[in-house]
Amino acid sequence: MMAHEHLRPAGPGLGQKIRRLHWPFVALVAVIGAIGYGVLYSAGGGSQEPWALRHLMRLAAGMGVMLVLALVDVRLFFRWAYAAYGLVLGLLVVVEVMGEVNKGAQRWIDLGVVQLQPSELMKVVLVLVLARYLHGAYLRDLRRPLSLLPPVLMIVLPAALVLVQPDLGTAVTLLAAGTAVLFLAGVRLWKFALVGGLGAAALPVAWANLHDYQRQRVFTFLDPERDPLGAGYHIIQSKIALGSGGLWGKGFLMGSQAQLSFLPEKQTDFAFTMLAEEAGFAGAILVLALYLAVILAALVVALRCTHQFGRLLAMGVACNFTLYVVINVAMVTGLIPVVGVPLPLISYGGTAMLTVLASFGLLLSVDIHRNTPIPRYPGEL
Amino acid sequence: MRLEGDRARSFTRRALLVGGVQTGLFGLLAARLWNLQVEQNATWRLLADDNRISERLIVPPRGRILDRLGRPLATNMPTYRVRVVREQARDLRGVLERLAMIVPLSAERIDEIERQARSLRAFVPVVVREDLSWEQVASIAVRSPDLPGVMLDAGLLRQYPYGSTVSHILGYVGAVSREELQQDPDPLLQLPEFRIGKNGVERSHDAALRGRAGLLRVEVNAVGREIRELERHEGDAGADLKLSLDLDLQRFCFERLAEQLSASAVVMDVHSGAVLAMVSVPSYDPRAFARGISTELWQALVADPFHPLVNKCIRGEYPPGSTFKMVTALAALEAGVATPKTEVFCPGYMVLGNARFHCWKQHGHGRLQLEQALAQSCDIFFYEMARRVGVDGLAAVSRRLGLGGPTGIDLPGEKGGLAPTSQWKRERFGVPWQKGETLITGIGQGFMLATPLQLAVMTARLANGGQAVEPWLARSAQGQPGAAADLGFAAEHLAPILAGMNEVVNGSRGTARAAALQGLGVAMAGKTGTSQVRRITKAERASGAHKRKDRPREHRDHALFVCFAPVEAPRYAVSVIVDHGDSGSATAAPIGRDIMRRTLELAPGGGPLQISGLEGQRP
């Protein structure tokens, strides 16, 4: 706690923090992660290998990180927000340049132990930096358009970098989460309408700049049967798996679509489909309810926080999480195009798990430090 | 603090709104899931089953073909083949090299197998070698621990134990052609390894021999690998097909004809129409077709001047020559233009208009009645009969006796021969019928053509008292045996003709007297024929060149003989044709006699025949 010593006034002590920790939330996260273990056990054909066990280890490590972050004084995050944002933005640029050099889409940096995906990290640091900036803005400040320029740039810059990677799903997530935080901070609704209108007008331009495979995904989404063995195969097989699951499902390890490999990517993007095939509508609804419980718990955390930074950060984290779940489930049920967004805590994949659990660490830290005053100007810290 | 409070209140309102939107989105997802999983469940469940369930046909074993005593003529022999699965072999090359120590595999063959295996999915077996010997199978089985991924399986290969002896009748099986695939909706034909009857009774009775496919339902994964068997419906095995053929008689006929370059013979039951033997030489070995014939062998068979692939009994059309004289005689008697006592004088030739028609006997037979005219085969007598009847009358009786059109035997590709009429000639050549053509038609020359089977049927119909017997090999095609229809010939017209045929063999001046049955106590009647294959020129007739033995083979006459026995109660009819065999009485008649003798010894088709010679008694 060396770093905390110069923060005034002093925050709560360690014992108090542990008592204040939102244990039901932690339990909820653990339960969803455990369901993920079950899904991946089944995806491995009834085996720990190759996914389930590693998922469990990552879950444990991720939750460790979450708990450590939860205990960190929230003012530390406040202080380092810009630096973190700048670092991740820099990493995004590095990835972009490396991608150019390697003549291909590269989204991650190999650190040897883990493959770091800066666009995932950006989801967390974006809401962090927006909360940091908007903490100082009263409603009257937000009426000046010039004051909105920095946060808009904070959103658009990384979103644009991610879009050219190209990663449509993450770009949309960044834009949506950023917009949500601006809205929560109190930006007038008509301004969103204006930007929305401009965006709609720019849609043809955006379409012209989309990659072929991205356009293909849109086409395939509009009519999956157009190319049943090619691009539409995934979504058709996913709907068959979901639909044939029925009310109560086919039973654990009994999903013919998943077990006989008709369902592609069942351990990553289509994990929800696998779950819904084997556990049925009942199981799918239960998991959705658990996710909603996480989101509503985050809402409560935001509402009971006494400082704007914490409120915006908590809601930003909640919005990020919502976007993960809603985009993934809407994608596998054929409501939106396949954009490659994993199902948090259940899909196999390290970076997404770490990002989500780290953002939960921030959320829990906000909750523990909900009464810790944060001055409007950093100099007063 | 007012400002702080304002934005806190604003945040709360907006946070609750966002929370509401989030909950609403989840509600939307739940509704979508309800729609897919509960409301549309039945539709998607069907599609899921379509995905995972694959239906495969089980090929039924083909029915055997048996002779009349149940001796197998076509069977299915288990054949062993060795296949290798790349995925299980791991080191495919190593496994193949070890396998090469048991079954010979060239280095090129190993390369080829490896290439083929790599082009297919890893779990798809690749055939290494077919038709293994039992020793090889045992060696591979013993060494299976060293040969991972190697599997032995048994298939059925069509086997014809009597080879070329019965190949014309049995035909053979082969791969399904595109036309057959279009015509026949049976799903079995879609299978690449399925074999269909291509010729002979294999083809004409294919439906009965084939059976019905079974169905196997298996669960498969996305790449088509079988996971487990769900259901199995065994099909119906093909039915065994019993032929009228007598294997011993068939083999005897084949051996008896084998010394000829090209010849054919048919033996049939005059009452039932059962074909007891049908031989055409040269023949071919059906084993060559079992696994697909090589192009060179096929070319050789097609190019062979003696047509080994053709069953001449049903596809060889010959001028019947003097064997047709019974038809001419019967036509004259039936038309009332002659009686058995009608006499004709033969000076050795006949003049019609300004043309001269010769008898085979240069100086003539003198006065003759029907019986002796048949016995000595006088051409002039039958020229005169034909002249009186006319060609259309000849054709009508020909047709009633089974000539001039296919007999309808259950074999594919039968030809119908030709019984010419004046109308036929007008339509075919656009010129009217000439009187002289009627004369040579009366002795079975000119346009007249018949197959050996037709001649056997003709003989049978004369011998059985004018019953319209039809030849067959297997009953299933003919339905239940019923009494053959009466052809409506008067008994008093048939009797002198049969008497004439008896004279041919047993009379002192008969053309086949040298071929009479000896020692059996049973008599046979018959008729020889020597049919010209080219017109004899005046110069040749003058010099006698048309009878010289050193003529080129293809200019020599065909030798024919038809007969039936026993004379008193006819049971069997035989026809023999030796292509370019020169003389019916010298070449064909002895063969006919030997075949008839063997037929009577074997006495096929019903109750025991009293053959006194065998019983040691004479009637």
Closest chain B residue to A334, measured at CA: B32
Answer whether A355's CB lies under 8 Å from A115's CB: no
Mean pLDDT across chain B: 85
Query: Where do we find the tokens 């390369």?
Result: B111
Token pair listed for A253 = 């390890």
Answer whether B204's CB lies under 8 Å from B411's CB: yes
Q: Cβ contact (<8 Å) for A318 and B222?
A: no
Q: How far is the alpha carbon of B229 from chain A, nearest alpha carbon, in Å?
A: 14
Instruction: Work out the average pLDDT over B494-516.
Output: 87
Give the pLDDT score at B236: 87
Answer whether A362's CB lies under 8 Å from A298's CB: no
Tell whether the model's pLDDT for residue B181 goes beyond 90: no
SS3 B446: coil
Task: Give the separation between CA B19 and CA A64, rounded to whole angstroms.
Answer: 28
Closest chain A residue to B220, measured at CA: A260
SS3 B268: strand
Q: Find chain B residues with C-beta within 8 A of A317's C-beta.
A: none
Q: Find chain B residues with C-beta within 8 A of A280's C-beta.
A: 37
Closest to B262 measured CA to CA, from B317, B301, B307, B319: B307
Q: How far is the alpha carbon of B218 from chain A, nearest alpha carbon, in Å?
A: 12
Token pair listed for B260 = 């000829």
**φ, ψ for residue B34, nearest 5 deg:** -60, -45
Task: Give the separation between CA B236 and CA B250, rounded to whole angstroms.
Answer: 31
> Among B7, B123, B219, B230, which would you mutate to test the A interface (most chain A Cβ atoms within 10 Å of its Cβ)?
B7
Among A138, A257, A284, whose Cβ lies nearest the Cβ of B33? A284
Q: What is the DSSP code (8-state) at residue B75?
A: E
Amino acid at B466: G
Q: What DSSP string describes B88-145? A: HHSSHHHHHHHHTTTS---HHHHHHHHHHHHHS-TTSEEEEESS--HHHHHHHHHTGG
Q: How far is the alpha carbon of A328 from chain B, nearest alpha carbon, in Å?
A: 10
Catalytic site includes residue B585: no
> Among A143, A240, A265, which would you mutate to test the B interface (most chain B Cβ atoms within 10 Å of its Cβ)?
A240
Burial class for B397, CB neighbours closer than 10 Å (0-12, 13-18, 19+): buried
Q: How far is the alpha carbon of B4 from chain A, nearest alpha carbon, in Å?
A: 7
Answer whether B398's CB lies under 8 Å from B386's CB: no
Closest chain A residue to B225, measured at CA: A260
Q: How far is the alpha carbon of B122 from chain A, nearest alpha carbon, in Å?
A: 16
Task: Give the separation between CA B454 and CA A305, rounded to whole angstroms.
Answer: 111
Task: Give the separation between CA A365 and CA A81, rounded to whole angstroms.
Answer: 14
Among A241, A281, A322, whose Cβ lies nearest the Cβ of B22? A322
Give the pLDDT score at B312: 92
| Active-site residue (options: B322, B377, B398, B585) | B322
Residue B39 forms contact with A (CB below 8 Å)? no
Residue B31 forms contact with A (CB below 8 Å)? no
Element (H, E) at B344: strand B344-346
| Cα angle value B351/B496/B391 (rounded, 5°) | 40
Token pair listed for B536 = 């004899």
Task: Give the separation between CA B95 and CA A104, rounded to whole angstroms.
Answer: 41
Tell whether the model's pLDDT for residue B37 goes beyond 90: yes
Tell whether the model's pLDDT for residue B429 goes beyond 60: yes
Q: Find chain A residues with C-beta within 8 A of B37's C-beta.
A: 242-243, 245-247, 276, 280-281, 284
Element (H, E) at A286: helix A271-304
Among B15, B29, B48, whose Cβ lies nearest the Cβ of A244? B48
Answer whether B409's CB lies under 8 Å from B278's CB: no
Query: Where do we find the tokens 């000896």?
Result: B518
Task: Give the separation between CA B373 and CA B390, rounded to whole angstroms.
Answer: 19
Between A229 and B222, residue with greater pLDDT? B222
Answer whether A162's CB lies under 8 Å from A308's CB: no
Partner residues linked to B318 by β-bridges: B450
Amino acid at B593: R
Tell whether the model's pLDDT for residue B613 goes beyond 90: no
| Cα angle value A287/A289/A295 (rounded, 5°) | 110
Half-sphere CA count of B215, side-chain side, radius 13 A: 9
Question: Could you count the other beta carbons within 10 Å of the beta carbon of residue A343?
Answer: 28
Confidence of residue B291 (pLDDT cuts 50, 70, 90): low
Residue B32 forms contact with A (CB below 8 Å)? yes
Among B25, B37, B227, whose Cβ lies nearest the Cβ of A260? B227
Q: Cβ contact (<8 Å) for A281 and B33?
A: yes
Give the pLDDT score at B477: 44
Q: Cβ contact (<8 Å) for B22 and A139?
A: no
Q: What are the pLDDT digits (tens) for B121-135?
A: 777 778 888 788 888
Task: Give the separation between CA A40 and CA A48, rounded to whole angstroms.
Answer: 8
Answer whether A249's CB lies under 8 Å from A280's CB: yes
Among A240, A245, A333, whose Cβ lies nearest the Cβ of B47? A240
Q: What is the largest CA-CA distance in chain B?
A: 154
Q: Cβ contact (<8 Å) for B52 and A244?
A: no
Residue B13 forms contact with A (CB below 8 Å)? no
Confidence of residue B483 (pLDDT cuts 50, 70, 90): low
Partner residues linked to B57 by β-bridges: B215
Give the pLDDT score at B170: 92
Closest to A33 measured CA to CA, from A71, A63, A78: A63
> Among B9, B14, B22, which would you mutate to test the A interface (most chain A Cβ atoms within 10 Å of its Cβ)?
B22
Q: Find chain A residues with C-beta within 8 A of B22's C-beta.
A: 292, 295, 299, 318-319, 322, 326
Q: What DSSP string describes B571-619? A: -EEEEEEETT-S-IIIIIHHHHHHHHHHHHHH--SSSPP--HHHHT---
Token pair listed for B242 = 């019993």
**Distance (Å) of CA B40 to CA A266, A277, B33, B308, B420:** 22, 14, 10, 66, 74
Q: Cβ contact (<8 Å) for A281 and B18?
A: no
Half-sphere CA count of A267, side-chain side, radius 13 A: 21
Tell whether the model's pLDDT for residue B494 goes beyond 60: yes
Q: What is the largest CA-CA distance in chain A?
A: 64
Assigned superfamily of B57-242: Penicillin-binding protein 2a (Domain 2) (3.90.1310.10)
Task: Give the separation between CA B128 and CA B113, rounded to whole angstroms.
Answer: 7
Domain boundaries, chain A: 10-380
Domain boundaries, chain B: 57-242, 247-615
The strand pair at B241-242 and B65-66 is best described as parallel
Answer whether B414's CB lies under 8 Å from B406's CB: yes
Partner residues linked to B93 by β-bridges: none
Closest to B570 measured CA to CA, from B457, B454, B465, B445: B465
Tell whether the model's pLDDT for residue B605 goes beyond 60: no
Task: Give the separation between CA B274 and CA B277, rounded to whole angstroms.
Answer: 9
CATH number of B247-615: 3.40.710.10
Instruction: Work out the average pLDDT over B583-600.
Output: 89
Burial class for B310, CB neighbours closer than 10 Å (0-12, 13-18, 19+): buried
Instruction: Report the percentage of chain B scoring pLDDT > 90.
Output: 28
Answer whether B474's CB lies under 8 Å from B201's CB: yes
Give the pLDDT score at B50: 85
Q: What DSSP string describes B35-50? A: IIIIISHHHHHHHHHH
Q: How far is the alpha carbon of A90 from chain B, nearest alpha carbon, in Å?
A: 31
Instruction: Work out the average pLDDT over B342-363.
Output: 86
| Cα angle value B243/B246/B249 (rounded, 5°) | 150
Q: Find chain B residues with C-beta within 8 A of A259's C-beta.
A: 221
Instruction: Work out the average pLDDT over B335-348.
Output: 88
User: Quick one: how far is CA B62 from the chain centroid?
Assistant: 17
The strand pair at B195-197 and B173-175 is best described as antiparallel
Among the residue ranges A207-211, A277-281, B141-145, B296-300, the one predicted with the least confidence is A207-211
CB pairs under 8 A between A and B: 143
Instruction: Work out the average pLDDT over B498-510.
Output: 88
Among A243, A281, A322, whose Cβ lies nearest the Cβ of B44? A243
pLDDT tens digits for chain A (381 residues)?
444 445 667 778 888 899 999 999 999 999 999 999 999 999 998 898 889 999 999 999 999 999 999 999 999 999 999 999 999 999 999 888 876 555 455 566 766 556 678 888 999 999 999 999 999 888 888 888 888 899 999 999 999 888 877 777 888 899 999 999 999 998 888 888 888 888 888 888 878 877 777 777 677 656 655 665 565 788 888 999 999 999 999 988 888 888 888 888 888 889 999 999 999 999 999 999 999 999 999 999 999 999 999 999 999 999 999 999 999 999 999 898 877 789 999 999 888 898 999 999 999 999 999 998 888 766 555
The strand pair at B366-368 and B344-346 is best described as antiparallel
Tell whether the model's pLDDT for residue B306 goes beyond 50: yes
Task: Give the separation between CA A315 and CA B468, rounded to whole angstroms.
Answer: 103
Please name the residue ranges forming H helices in A187-270. Answer: 189-209, 212-222, 233-245, 256-259
Q: Cβ contact (<8 Å) for A333 and B47?
A: no
Q: Find chain A residues with C-beta within 8 A of B14's C-beta.
A: 183-184, 186
Closest to A330 measured CA to CA, from A251, A242, A256: A242
Q: Cβ contact (<8 Å) for A299 and B15?
A: yes
Q: What are the pLDDT digits (tens) for B83-116?
A: 888 878 878 888 898 888 888 888 888 888 888 8
Task: Give the separation between CA B447 and CA B437, rounded to whole angstroms.
Answer: 8
Task: Give the separation between CA B370 and CA B365, rounded to whole angstroms.
Answer: 12
